[in-house]
Amino acid sequence: MELGRRDFLAVSVMAGAAAATANRSVMAAAGGGMAAFAAPAIRELRVAFVGLGMRGPGAVHRMAKLPGVKITHLCDFFKDRAEKQNAWLKKNGKPGAKLHWGKEGWKEMLDADDIDLVYNATPWDLHTPIAVAAMQHGKHVAVEVPAALTIEDCWRLVKTSEATSRHCMMLENCCYGEVEMIALKMAREGMFGEIVHGEGAYIHDLRSLNYADLNQGGYYDHWRLRHDMVHTGNPYPTHGLGPICQAMNINRGDVMEYLVSVSSRQAGMSEYANARFPKTWKADSKPELGDMNTTVIGTALGRTIMIQHDVTSPRPYSRINLISGTRGILADYPFRVALDPNHRGAHGWMGQKELDKLAADMRHPLWKTAGEIAKRIGGHGGMDFLMDLRLCYCLQNGLPLDQNVYDAAAWSSLCELTEKSARNRGASQDIPDFTSGAWRTTEPLGIVDVDLAKMGFKVDQNVKKDDAQLSV
């Protein structure tokens, strides 16, 4: 952290951000002030999208279905991508958006005064620069995962959000997964007893996607593969980590303090490339990313969290999603529960009938309210839609967001810290307290919901899943 907090506040808020701040009715104090921050309600939410390759189009399609949301700007490196999404909007009865393209098209876009929220779905290395600039231009930000790749950038997000009183939410969609939200409700109702341990992961065979060319549906300039060529550790920790942190009240009663991380050797990517692309740059490249990374985190209250990352092995998809306490355990992939409320022992998983009843009884209110709509509209089984729905509902009604900038920073900090640990024989790494102590007094995330009628949402029984859904 190069600058002290006071120094940063003195130099980082540009004239435009200062002017935008002058008329705000709600201000945040530096040092934890964004923990329960609620900005003034924005009844008509004007949204700009940057990044229309992998995740962006699905987000455009979902957000366009939300009442009170107007898509005003579309931006991508490629002009035809912006044009394609604009054509989709018009085809579906929505006003056209202003288009921006090219390497610095997003900078031009941020000068516009008809944007309340910037939805950032660009490659990883652009997440922080665009998010910081957007907040300095007076816009709220929703940024894809991970929100930052370095500790320095994590602090940049925190300090800018505090200085500008603008939300910076990381779009951790897995916090809205159906089983994850069952686990959260069970945790809130004390069904696990005292939670002492959690496990999460991102285990997803991405070899074909990472090595695919752009015209085959791959990443632009193979940016994800190029990242893996020079980095190890866990570059994508938040899908498994986020839901566990919410269940454990991390940053809201507890805080992650340190971690140790170990990576296996890299073998799978090289074997795949040599078999599929012999005598090419893909085969000649030697990725640094280990096939399996395992990280163990310790918290201030003595809990442990284990997080794994493997995008190379031919394994079925899993986020593990395990919560363990003194009175029970929930695990996913497949979904299982064992409870011991009377301290008589639990030596087997619930039977299917009992499990089905528990899942129905513990279904999160948000899934009860909008789950069927979410499944029809889509986005990773509906959790993407519920994430967007809650984000817009909170902004439209002046409510704190479910994930704040401290969550974005803490969860993303593993990117750098796991690499440092893995490159140093699992040496322990301290995790910064991005809340500056506010975790001790911040209230836990409640059992949230939405009022669809208040949003003016009319349930269309004929809504069908978009054909532009995401594969990763």
pLDDT band at 460 (very low <50, low <70, confident <90, very high): low
Please tell me the predicted confidence (pLDDT) of residue 26. 40
Q: What is the pLDDT of residue 21?
A: 39
Alpha helix (H) residue ranges in 137-249? 151-164, 178-188, 207-211, 223-230, 238-248
By mean pLDDT, which of 67-81, 221-235, 413-427, 445-459 is the weakest? 445-459
Q: What band does 8 get if pLDDT is binned at 50, 70 and 90?
A: very low
Q: What is the pLDDT of residues 233-252, one digit of tens each?
A: 999 999 999 999 999 999 99
Q: 5-173 adopts what CATH topology?
A: Rossmann fold (3.40.50)
Task: Write out pLDDT tens, residues 45-62.
Answer: 999 999 999 999 999 999
Q: Which two tokens stand for residue 333?
A: 């992939």
36 vs 425: CA distance, rounded Å: 38
β-partners of residue 307 are: 200, 295
Q: Give the separation between CA 391 and CA 44, rounded to whole angstroms.
A: 13
Q: What is the pLDDT of residues 49-103, one digit of tens each?
A: 999 999 999 999 999 999 999 999 999 999 999 999 999 999 999 999 999 999 9
Please state, as a whole number, how many other Cβ atoms lie within 10 Å of the Cβ of residue 14.
13
Task: Compute the distance between CA of residue 148 and CA of residue 131 in angstroms, rounded to an integer.
Answer: 10
Every domain range in the chain assigned CATH 3.40.50.720: 5-173
Q: Which residues contact 447 (CB under 8 A, 6 or more apart)?
A: 184, 185, 188, 364, 365
Residue 144 above 50 pLDDT? yes
For residue 410, is pLDDT > 80? yes
Residues 6+ apart with CB under 8 A from 23: none
What's the whole-number average pLDDT of the chain? 92
Enter the DSSP assignment of 184.
Answer: H
- The answer to which of 22-31, 124-133, 232-241 has the lowest mean pLDDT is 22-31
| Distance from C-alpha of 306 to C-alpha of 312, rounded to nearest angstrom | 19
The per-residue pLDDT for 30 is 55
Q: How many CB atoms lie within 10 A of CB 466?
A: 20
C-alpha pair distances (Å), 457 with each of 95, 313, 370, 389 = 19, 43, 10, 11
Contact 377, 62 (CB under 8 A): yes
pLDDT in tens, 327-374: 999 999 999 999 998 888 888 999 999 999 999 999 999 999 999 999
pLDDT value at 470 more than 90 = no
**pLDDT above 70 coverage of the chain, percent:** 91
Collapsing DSSP states into helix, strand and coil, what is residue 302? Answer: coil
pLDDT (mean) for 187-216: 97
State residue 294's pLDDT score: 99
Q: How confident is the model over 275-300, as pLDDT tens digits? A: 999 999 999 999 999 999 999 999 99
**Helix, strand, or coil here: 12?**
coil
Claim: this prediction has a pTM higher than 0.85:
yes
Helix (H, G, I), strand (E, B) or coil at 361: helix
pLDDT digits (tens, 9 = 90+) for 148-169: 999 999 999 999 999 999 999 9
Where does CATH 3.30.360.10 sit in the chain? Answer: 174-454
Topology (CATH) of 174-454: Dihydrodipicolinate Reductase; domain 2 (3.30.360)
d(CA 30, CA 428): 29
Say how many C-beta atoms besides its own lie within 10 A of residue 72's C-beta: 20
Residue-level pLDDT at 457: 81
Question: What mean pLDDT do residues 376-380 have?
Answer: 93
Asked whether the predicted pLDDT for residue 404 surpasses 60, the reply is yes
